[in-house]
């Protein structure tokens, strides 16, 4: 085995052991170096190094001078992101199903994750039996209706960073940052976004923002379908229903508009 291969293997093993440490602390509540070393079947010095790395990131902490460790507060933001995703799908599920039944098209909820839109929930209408399953699919931000909603809500510096090296997937894909920025300004003002054959030829969609209790945009609700069933005039006609659906999910998430 070459040195690079051994290095990769060692790195993966360390990650696996670090995760095991977190699982042990979660199960036991607290544990010492010797206990962790025994359960992991490693030398105490290895367990100590793993704890030191986790402690440096705030994922584990030592309890006073007792020599015991427990989970750290650095896990809270990570857990918060997961619970936020779970909440938006829990609160949005019935609305997705209602819109899918009413409009006959695919309804998705997407979130922003590491520079892409990730579809975390989906409902299909009676017209969509043979259409693509978007659940779990990663899609670009600049060429999808959900992505535009999420981009429009991003901080200016983050938005500028995300509007670089844009891929053109259809003749209608916008890849000029200045034009996209202008469109995103409109999206923020009007409260919805369209994507007309910008991601895939023959696919149209409309999306609206889902907000949490603080008013921050945490997800996008979209309705998509083939262009022959969702031409621009029908996209325009269903936009109020999509906006209202997103507003209702936002209300369930604790966002109230006075």
**Per-residue pLDDT tens for 170-210?**
999 999 999 999 999 999 999 999 999 999 999 999 999 99
**How far does CA 238 lie from the centroid of its chain?**
25
> What is the phi-psi region of residue 165: left when phi exceeds 0, alpha when psi lies from -120 to 50, beta otherwise?
left
Domain interval for residue 133:
80-252
Q: Which of 214, 72, 207 lies closest to 139 in space, CA to CA?
A: 207
If asked whether residues 244 and 123 sit together in one domain, one would say yes
- Domain end residue (candidates: 73, 89, 123): 73
d(CA 258, CA 256): 6
Give the pLDDT score at 174.
94
Q: Please indicate, yes or no, if residue 257 is contained in any of the structural domains.
A: no
- Domain end residue (candidates: 51, 73, 95): 73
If asked whether residues 172 and 202 sit together in one domain, one would say yes
If asked whether residues 57 and 86 sit together in one domain, one would say no
Render pLDDT for 119-162 as a digit per residue (tens, 0 to 9). Answer: 888 998 876 554 567 777 789 999 999 999 999 999 999 999 99
d(CA 244, CA 40): 52
Give the pLDDT score at 104.
92
Contact 220, 208 (CB under 8 A): yes
Give the pLDDT score at 189.
96
Tokens 């690079």 — which residue? 4
If asked whether residues 21 and 112 sit together in one domain, one would say no
CATH number of domain containing 144? 3.30.450.40
If asked whether residues 237 and 173 sit together in one domain, one would say yes
- Domain total of the chain: 2
Q: Return the DSSP state at 167.
A: P
């Amino acid at each position: 085995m070459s040195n690079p291969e051994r290095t990769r293997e060692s790195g993966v093993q360390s990650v696996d052991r670090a995760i095991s440490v977190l699982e042990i602390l979660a199960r036991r509540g607290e544990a010492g170096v010797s206990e962790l070393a025994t359960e992991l079947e490693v030398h105490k010095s290895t367990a100590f190094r793993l704890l030191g790395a986790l402690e440096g990131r705030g994922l584990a902490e030592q309890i006073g001078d007792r020599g015991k460790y427990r989970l750290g507060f650095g896990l809270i933001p990570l857990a918060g992101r997961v619970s936020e995703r779970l909440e938006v799908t829990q609160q949005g599920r019935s609305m997705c199903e209602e819109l899918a039944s009413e409009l006959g098209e695919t309804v998705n909820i997407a979130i922003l994750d590491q520079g892409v839109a990730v579809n975390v929930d989906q409902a299909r209408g009676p017209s969509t039996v043979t259409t693509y399953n978007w659940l779990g699919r990663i899609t670009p931000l600049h060429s999808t209706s959900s992505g535009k909603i999420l981009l429009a809500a991003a901080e200016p510096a983050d938005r500028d960073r995300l509007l670089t090296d844009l891929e053109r997937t259809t003749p209608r894909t916008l890849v000029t940052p200045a034009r996209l920025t202008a469109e995103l300004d409109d999206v923020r003002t009007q409260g919805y976004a369209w994507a007309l054959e910008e991601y895939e030829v023959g696919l149209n969609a409309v999306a609206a923002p889902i907000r949490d209790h603080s008013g921050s945009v945490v997800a996008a609700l979209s309705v998509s379908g083939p262009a022959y069933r969702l031409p621009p005039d029908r996209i325009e006609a269903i936009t109020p229903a999509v906006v209202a659906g997103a507003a209702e999910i936002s209300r369930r998430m604790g966002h109230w508009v006075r």
